[in-house]
Amino acid sequence: MSLKSGGNNPISWNLRRFFSSNEKHLPAISDPEIESAFKDLLAASWNELPQGLVEEAKKAVSKATDDKAGQEALQNVFRAAEACEEFGGTLVTLRMALDDLCGLTGENVGPLPGYIEDAVKAAYNRYMTYLESFGPEEHYLRKKVETELGTKMIHLKMRCSGIGSEWGKVCFSQILLIPVVQCVPVSSYAV
């Protein structure tokens, strides 16, 4: 079968990906050093900020420049990155506590202890409050925070049963731990 040019065949289509080149959603930054630090921070993972990136951002924030709006935008991104790094560590610690309670193979599945239940509630409330604190002009920053912390929140949610898609509507007294690893007895495998 030959491919005809101009046909309705996916292979014959002009294989281009279209990305938005419109950067109007980002703040206008005129200073190249500030812009570089700003974009580097947005591109980096906020799980653990590299020391070189932290130094670059601090240097750009403290330098004398006429671009005060750019410095403020960089400062906001830097503060958000530091907050995400710290809160992300808290979420990982909470997830590990759930894993420890559940046991390696899920042998200790049961109701959540009160202190863990309170910690899950507090983590959810803190996450939602932080996301709601971003204004409409900071949409790019909200999306970055959702990307960095959302995965950790989902990992937390996956370890509990009884949580719906909207954590705010869940009665946490009915949450049970679910095992992360499900073990199947060897005898159940077909030989």
Q: How far is Cα 160 from Cα 124, in angstroms, rounded to an integer?
A: 13
Give Cα 99 to chain centroid, integer Å: 20
H helix intervals, 63-138: 68-102, 114-132
pLDDT at 188: 37
Is the pLDDT assigned to residue 55 strictly greater than 90? yes
E strand or H helix at 167: none
pLDDT in tens, 71-85: 999 999 999 999 999
Q: ∠ CA 43-45-48 to the nearest 5 degrees? A: 140
Q: Rounded to two decimals, what is the model's pTM?
A: 0.71
Q: How far is Cα 69 from Cα 27, in angstroms, rounded to an integer?
A: 8
pLDDT at 11: 54
Model confidence at 163, pLDDT cuts 50, 70, 90, reads: low
Model confidence at 165, pLDDT cuts 50, 70, 90, reads: low
- Burial string for 79-116 (b: 16+ CB within 10 Å, else e) reads ebbeebbebbeebeebbebbbeebeeeeeeeeebeeeb
Model confidence at 33, pLDDT cuts 50, 70, 90, reads: very high
Task: List the chain domain ranges.
Answer: 32-181
Is the pLDDT assigned to residue 103 strictly greater than 60? yes
pLDDT in tens, 140-150: 999 899 889 88
Model confidence at 48, pLDDT cuts 50, 70, 90, reads: very high
pLDDT at 67: 87
Mean pLDDT score across all residues of the chain: 76
Model confidence at 87, pLDDT cuts 50, 70, 90, reads: very high
Q: What is the DSSP letter of 26?
A: S
Model confidence at 173, pLDDT cuts 50, 70, 90, reads: very low
pLDDT at 10: 55
pLDDT at 54: 94
* Furthest-apart CA atoms within the chain: distance in Å: 74
